[in-house]
Amino acid sequence: MKHLISISMLSLAIAAAACGGSQSAADGHGRKEYRLSQVIEVEGRQGVAADGEYYYVSGSTALYKYDKQGRLVAENTSPFEGLALEANHIGDIDVHDGEIYAGIEWFEDGVGRNIQAAVYDAATLQWVRSIDWQPSSGQVEVCGLAVDAARGKLYMADWVDGRYIYRYDLSTGAYEDKIQLRPVPALQQGICVAGDEILISSDDGEADRGEADRIYSAPIADLSAASADVGVWRTMEDFRRAGEIEGLTVDPSTGELIVLSNRGARIVLGMPRGFYDGYDREIHELYIYEPVE
């Protein structure tokens, strides 16, 4: 999503695998193993969702729909048309019951405003409605959101101040509560619900030094809990190059973990400043991990 200092400064029971082998998470959060099976280059650089048939990808100002062979089948390059509130940025996304949920805002000078969960028709990628943000929650930015279909909830995360995730009722759109994350994953990029846990991608590596970003997990089953203990879920050492992790999702039909990552561009103070050696553009890729039985 946004960037600071460099391109990367900063539980579904799953563990992913480096090419040729499997890797388990470092903490005690329950999960099974995943193995990297393929990498697909895409257009968007922000978020990803999957409904079992298609992959949906968000760019900062666009939505894309891909089949599972990586072929682009639809796009919406004017996703802010029709919104009641002015916006200039899309974060991570989710898809549920034929609709795409997108974390949208106007982001400027480190602060988000007009935060909303914009809902799009998954077939046409056209805007349908928006769920209002609750300013009194203390949330100041939306890097991404996730649908918890089993419990009928919608979660939002904050890249600027990541101490909390924010919970809304999925059917009414009403704000319910915020859950403190302990400890706090740095520079959160995307979230997704996996069973009784929420996975959080964090741009906490250091691309200049080849250090990989991480995914964290936290429990969400207890809706009365005021806080959640966060554990390191996976270090993304099998990305083709250390860069910038973004959104993530789990395919409901296959159980595959899908993670979006960017590589190639050097980011300084939130702005592109050329490219790393061997690159003349930024590359956006979906890393697809299959479950290991």
Domain ranges across the chain: 14-291
Q: Please tell me the pTM assigned to this model.
A: 0.89
What pLDDT digit, counting tens, does each position of 244-270 carry?
999 999 999 999 999 999 999 987 644
Task: Give yes or no for a cis peptide into 291 (omega within 30° of 0).
Answer: no
What pLDDT is stored for residue 112 in this prediction? 85
* Cβ–Cβ < 8 Å for 78, 122: no
Residue 42: both structure tokens together: 């895409």
Predicted confidence band at 227 (pLDDT cuts at 50, 70, 90)?
Answer: very high
- When pLDDT is averaged across residues 233-243 and rounded to a whole number, the result is 94
Distance CA 189, CA 203 (A): 7
Cα–Cα distance measured from residue 242 to residue 224, given in angstroms and rounded to the nearest whole number: 38
* DSSP notation for 261-282: EEESEEEETTEEEEE-TT-SS-
Q: Does the pLDDT at position 170 exceed 60?
A: yes
- State how far the Cα of 257 lies from the Cα of 33, in Å rounded to an integer: 10
How confident is the model at residue 272, as a pLDDT? 62
Query: What is the β-pairing status of strands 175-182 and 227-229?
Result: parallel
- Is the Cβ–Cβ distance between 50 and 258 less than 8 Å? yes
- CB-side neighbour CA atoms (13 Å) of 127: 20
Q: What is the CATH number of domain 14-291?
A: 2.40.128.630
